[in-house]
Amino acid sequence: MARTVRDATLETRAARMQLPTGRKHWRSIEQGLHLGYRRGPRGGAWLGRRCVDGKYPETVLGIADDATDADGTTVLDYRAALKAAREWWQAEERKALGISDTHRGAYTIADALADYEKHYEARGGKDLTNLRSIVNSHIVPALGALDTAKLTTRRLRDWHHGLATAPKMVRTAKGAKERKTQEFDPRDPEAVRRRRSRANRILTVLKAALNHAHAEHHISIDDAWARVQPFHDVDQARIHYLSTAECTRLLNTCEPDFRSLVKAALLTGARYGELVRLKVRDINLESGSIFIAESKNGKSRHVPLTDEGIDHFRSLALGKAGPAPVFLRADGATWKASHQARPLATACEQAKIEPAITFHGLRDTYASMLAMRGVPMAVIAAALGHADTRITEKHYAHLAPSYVADTIRANMPRLGLEEETNVASIRKAG
């Protein structure tokens, strides 16, 4: 049966002086961990105690500052004793799990992010470049130096809300020392939605890092960030897609090596990463399809090609061996993460496409054109590699109003609910 702890008042010297000598006085600081105090004839000592399988191993944390001012090392005030108890608990938990305890001193948010990045990369995370960008641009500068043991919900909530109102960072030339920013109109609901959605994505990365640190017993409690709630109803993006005329203008302004990549995206709806990993052997001209060996969700799929798509990929595969990449840059190098962003932004500017389309917007264009022509959501979902139609319907179903309306009108029975009335319509005399 678990013992019941009656919390003692330990915060001040005066309160501790009222406690009986020779006895241990305990205060629960979190589940399974207690801070203790024992006063002797020549002063008191701080103790720590943790619950392990119904037993309570103890340790001496340091001398209490009853007669001597605290020095933060051997003589501890109440707050320093709390910190020492938590650090002892974390070290003991990590030791019990066989986890090496190489970290010394305060475990900061920057430490948690660095550990999470290694963990993310080791488990094969698909978006390491974006993760690093979020960490280095939005989290470390504002929070990196904070001791995780001192995190508060208010501090994290204020930071999260601040992200939603901060100016947008815009891409600058290579080698620029400072990032440019662009103000957004807080009266524009779509602009507000985008900033809040972005703030949520950044918060998700921070929470993932802190949850990992908590699982590794670097942090004893998760209350501080668990109570920070994301903004609600901000993920339903307004799909930005190109018209046929805009597609033509965009392709005409792209450099030749990039044009073939953009055209492939418009003809297949494939993601940038899927296309740049494509090999010549993945093109099947007989069946009229390309094979995506590994998509964002880790699954493979075949994407059917139109006649225009078959002609495009035939020209790309001409004279190349099976293992060769389908897409290469003009200098013969492979396309890497984020290499598409700058040339696409430049092409949009020259083609007078505002706002500029992202590479994912080319995928949206492919799906939107199919939806507007009444192609079933299940077919679009299969081509895009979605696990089911829920995501597809969320983003593209509204683009096929005539298809939805025609289906309802054709299948909804007549209910005969008309009411008789003696009111005649007033018609304008001719």
Residue 261, φ and ψ in degrees, nearest 5: -75, -45
Query: Does residue 281 sit in the same domain as residue 178?
Result: no
What is the average per-residue pLDDT within 279-285?
A: 97
Q: What share of the chain is helix, strand, coil (3-state, %, to 5)?
A: 45, 15, 40
What was the pLDDT predicted at 430? 46
Is residue 231 assigned to a domain? no
Q: Which residue type is seen at 395?
A: H
Q: Are residues 127 and 46 in the same domain?
A: no
| One domain for residues 74 and 126 | no
Mean of pLDDT over the chain: 87
Residues 305 and 316: beta-carbon distance below 8 Å: no
Q: Are residues 307 and 255 in the same domain?
A: yes
35 within 8 A of 82, measured Cβ to Cβ: yes
Q: Are residues 136 and 77 in the same domain?
A: no
113 shares its domain with 62: no
Q: Is residue 348 part of a domain?
A: yes
Q: Which helix (H) or strand (E) holds 44?
A: strand 43-50
Q: Tell me, what CATH number does 171's domain have?
A: 1.10.150.130
ω into 355 cis (within 30 of 0): yes
pLDDT-derived band of residue 276, with 50, 70 and 90 as boundaries? very high
Spatial contact of 271 and 358, defined as CB atoms under 8 Å apart: no
Same domain? For 365 and 388 the reply is yes
Please choose, from the candidates 280, 277, 288, 293, the residue with its C-alpha nearest in 3D space to the C-alpha of residue 320. Answer: 280
Q: Per-residue confidence at 239, pLDDT binned at 50, 70, 90?
A: confident
Q: How far is it, in rounded angstroms, from Cα 239 to Cα 148?
A: 38
Q: With 50 as the cut, is the pLDDT of residue 109 above it? A: yes
Average the pLDDT over 92-99 and give the result: 72
- For the ranges 9-23, 77-91, 196-210, the maximum mean pLDDT occurs at 196-210
The whole-angstrom separation of Cα 7 and Cα 217 is 25
Regarding whether 147 and 81 lie in a shared domain, the answer is: no
**Domain of 57: which CATH number?**
3.30.160
60-92 tens-digit pLDDT: 999 999 988 888 888 999 999 998 898 888 788
Alpha carbon separation from 122 to 102, 116, 125, 128 (Å, rounded): 19, 10, 7, 11
Mean pLDDT of 408-415: 82
**166 is a domain residue:** yes
Q: How confident is the model at residue 98 (pLDDT cuts 50, 70, 90)?
A: low
CB 228 within 8 A of CB 156: yes
pLDDT of 38 higher than 80: yes
Look at residue 318 and tell me if it is in a domain: yes
Higher-confidence residue of 394 and 323: namely 323
On whether residue 239 sits in a domain, the answer given is no
- Pairing relationship of beta strands 58-64 and 75-76 according to DSSP bridges: parallel
Banded model confidence at residue 182, pLDDT cuts 50, 70, 90: confident
Q: Is residue 64 part of a domain?
A: yes
Residue where a domain terminates, one of 198, 226, 254: 226
Q: Which residues of 135-146 are buried (b: 16+ CB within 10 A; e: fewer)?
A: beebbbeebbeb
256 and 291 share one domain: yes
SS3 318: coil
- Number of domain units in the chain: 3
426 in any annotated domain: no
pLDDT digits (tens, 9 = 90+) for 244-271: 999 999 999 999 999 999 999 999 999 9
On whether residue 113 sits in a domain, the answer given is yes
Q: How far, in Å, CA of 149 to CA of 221, rounded?
A: 9
- At 362, which CATH number? 1.10.443.10
Q: How many CB atoms lie within 10 A of CB 379?
A: 14
Q: Are residues 251 and 388 in the same domain?
A: yes
- Containing structural domain, residue 20: 13-96
- Residues 160 and 299 placed together within one structural domain of the fold: no
pLDDT at 297 over 90: no
pLDDT band at 421 (very low <50, low <70, confident <90, very high): low
Q: Say whether both 88 and 118 belong to one domain.
A: no
